[in-house]
Amino acid sequence: MSLLDTTFDLEQFTQQLNNELNNGLPGFDAQKIMSPSIREHALKKSDPSIARDSSVLLLFYPKDGQLYLPFIKRTSGNTSHSGQISLPGGKYEESDSNRTVTAIRETNEELGVDCKKIKILGFLTELYIPISNFMVLPVLGYCKQRPEFKISPFEVEEVIEMPVQQLLSKENISEFSFTKNDLTINAPYFDAKGHKVWGATAMILSELREIFLRAGLIR
């Protein structure tokens, strides 16, 4: 089965993805394909050994005969990631038994998704984010039906639902440049309904894309 099929089979998809995850992860080589040019500069000024643990959830679900992923547009504020397009997630709390619990809890808090309806598939490679000093674990999960989103107005401005086939297609990848503190930054990105998904989120999606290609889920 591929995501190009007209009738999407969630059970078959989860089996194929699990099989591919068991074959090993592509790792940082896949992540760095979508790495912004500023990353190496930022890494020189940071220390991953004192990073704070965190996680994000890539939550697959069926909609209109296709496989979807939700992203959030964070509310504007004073944090380093305010206003950006990201995956639901956040920092590990002492009350969390592990970072899988963190990802599920944060998805519930930000998007209102029922924790009991989230099934875990596996994990991608950890990724260090210099700007916020987070060590992020990407958690893969799914819901058997499209969740009823109830966004937190304090954290989330908008939920962006993207069909995975479109999101990860080669034609959907581009690059943009901007200047910050007199430094020109070049950043590859995935387009999500006119929003640029770049930085750490794009690097996570880049590894996911390699796994999907390997599994024959996309072309």
**Other Cβ atoms closer than 10 A to 150:** 13
Residue 219: its pLDDT value, please? 84
**What pLDDT was estimated at residue 1?**
56
| Closest alpha carbon to 167 in 186, 194, 128, 129 | 194
Longest Cα–Cα distance in the chain: 50
According to the model, what pLDDT value does residue 78 have? 46
DSSP labels, 93-112: -TT-SSHHHHHHHHHHHHH-
**What's the pLDDT tens digit per position in 16-52?**
999 999 999 999 999 999 999 988 777 777 888 899 9
Where do the H-state alpha helices sit in the chain?
A: 10-21, 28-31, 39-43, 99-111, 164-167, 200-215
State how far the Cα of 192 lies from the Cα of 77, in Å rounded to an integer: 22
pLDDT tens-digit profile of 50-109? 999 999 999 999 999 999 999 999 997 645 455 789 999 999 999 999 999 999 999 999
**Mean pLDDT lowest among 122-126, 127-131, 168-172:** 127-131
pLDDT at 7: 60
Element (H, E) at 119: strand 119-123
Q: Report the range of poorest mean pLDDT among 111-125, 171-185, 201-215.
A: 171-185
Alpha carbon 213 to chain centroid, angstroms? 17
Q: Do residues 26 and 207 make contact, with C-beta atoms less than 8 angstroms apart?
A: yes
Q: Give the pLDDT score at 3.
A: 64
Q: Which residues contact 178 (CB under 8 A, 6 or more apart)?
A: 184, 185, 187
In the chain, the domains with their CATH numbers are 10-214 (3.90.79.10)
132-184 confidence digits (pLDDT tens): 899 999 999 999 999 999 999 999 999 999 999 999 999 999 999 988 878 88
